[in-house]
């Protein structure tokens, strides 16, 4: 058997090309900021970007069915503001119950999205755009022109405070569960099938509508969980929390090789994409990039990685075609 070259190895897998990008990125950043890979910085990268990494798993499921959900940070704000107000007004302070309430709110929001998209055949971008405003509006209504401060969520914030293992445990558990779920379960295979060819999936006996509703519900669940986690990590609840961050979640998936047309993507690629986004966000201020120019540089890096992904995918398709012809 002919031994593969390093280039063939890198271009034969999207994940390997992302690992190469990650290594190069880290080397460049470490040269420019020698303390970047310190344990404290690495810990902060994961803690401060736990919400994006968590929601990227739900977005992976949604995008695999050729859908999209831009209402996720509004769902996050709705859930987070609700549990913040419950603590502010001394209604509930039990950490477990607060997590359950946030997750249930997220599930309800995602379920509603899924039903309208699957049953009413409303385009995902239109449906979730509407709910983006609705759920964000609900967060403002619940807030009553106020917010939950650190003192209001004092006990609850211990779960996500710096030095606590809480956010890391949730993140690790979520990625392990989704890795197994997407790779080795029947439902995981159904998601890929629906995204690859919905009509063929329907003919083969898969309930396409149920699958679509399920992935938006999963997305809502993770957005609700992220909302609760946000209150715990940042020790406050405000109706504008994580405003606009849905773009980072979508970018993480796209960088990770998730196809916008559905049927292609992986948990590993999504993790690597989210990690690249997190590293860029942490590195730009440290290497001296002016705050005004940070979004510009971030956009250029994201675009470069996406182009590399497209090239890698084309080379993979070409290699597969050559093998079939042989």
Domain boundaries, the chain: 34-244
The model carries a pTM of 0.91
DSSP string, 77-136: HHHHHHHHHHHHTTS---HHHHHHHHHHHHHHHHHHHHHHHHHS---HHHHHHHHHHHHH
By CB atoms closer than 10 A (0-12, 13-18, 19+), residue 165 is exposed
Burial 267-306 (b: 16+ CB within 10 A, else e): bbbbbbbbbbbbbbbbbbeeeebeeeeeeeebeebbeebe
Q: What is the pLDDT of residue 270?
A: 95
pLDDT in tens, 110-123: 999 999 999 999 99
Over range 291-306, report the average pLDDT. 83
Rg over alpha carbons for the chain, rounded to the nearest Å, is 20
How large is the average pLDDT for residues 166-189?
95
pLDDT digits (tens, 9 = 90+) for 216-250: 999 999 999 999 999 999 999 999 999 989 999 99
Give mean pLDDT, residues 33-55. 91
Tell whether the model's pLDDT for residue 81 goes beyond 70. yes
Share of the chain above pLDDT 90, in %: 66
Q: Look at residue 8 in the predicted model and tell me its pLDDT.
A: 47
| pLDDT of the residue at 10 | 45
């Amino acid at each position: 058997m002919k031994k593969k070259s390093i280039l063939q190895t890198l271009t034969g897998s999207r994940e390997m090309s992302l690992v190469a990008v990650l290594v190069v990125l880290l080397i460049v950043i470490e040269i420019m900021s020698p303390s970047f890979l310190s344990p404290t910085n690495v810990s902060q990268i994961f803690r401060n970007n736990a919400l994006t990494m968590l929601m990227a798993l739900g977005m992976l499921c949604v995008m695999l069915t050729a859908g999209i959900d831009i209402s996720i940070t509004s769902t996050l704000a709705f859930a987070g503001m609700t549990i913040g107000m419950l603590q502010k007004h001394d209604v509930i302070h039990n950490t477990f119950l607060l997590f359950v309430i946030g997750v249930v709110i997220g599930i309800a929001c995602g379920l509603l999205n899924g039903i309208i998209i699957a049953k009413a055949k409303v385009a995902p971008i239109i449906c979730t755009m509407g709910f983006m405003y609705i759920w964000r509006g609900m967060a403002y209504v619940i807030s009553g022109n106020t917010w939950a401060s650190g003192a209001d969520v004092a006990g609850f914030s211990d779960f996500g405070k710096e030095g606590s293992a809480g956010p890391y445990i949730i993140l690790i558990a979520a990625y392990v569960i989704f890795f197994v779920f997407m790779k080795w379960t029947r439902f995981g295979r159904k998601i890929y099938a629906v995204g690859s060819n919905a009509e063929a999936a329907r003919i083969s006996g898969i309930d396409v509508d149920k699958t679509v509703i399920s992935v938006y519900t999963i997305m809502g669940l993770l957005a609700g969980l992220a909302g609760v986690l946000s209150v715990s990590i940042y020790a406050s609840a405000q109706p504008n929390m994580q405003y606009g961050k849905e773009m980072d979640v979508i970018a993480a998936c796209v960088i990770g090789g998730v196809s916008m047309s559905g049927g292609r993507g992986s948990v590993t690629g999504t993790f690597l994409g989210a990690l690249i986004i997190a590293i860029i966000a942490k590195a730009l201020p440290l290497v001296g990039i002016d705050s005004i120019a940070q979004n510009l540089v971030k956009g250029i890096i994201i675009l470069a990685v996406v182009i590399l992904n497209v090239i890698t995918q084309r080379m993979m398709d070409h290699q597969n075609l050559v093998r079939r012809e042989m």
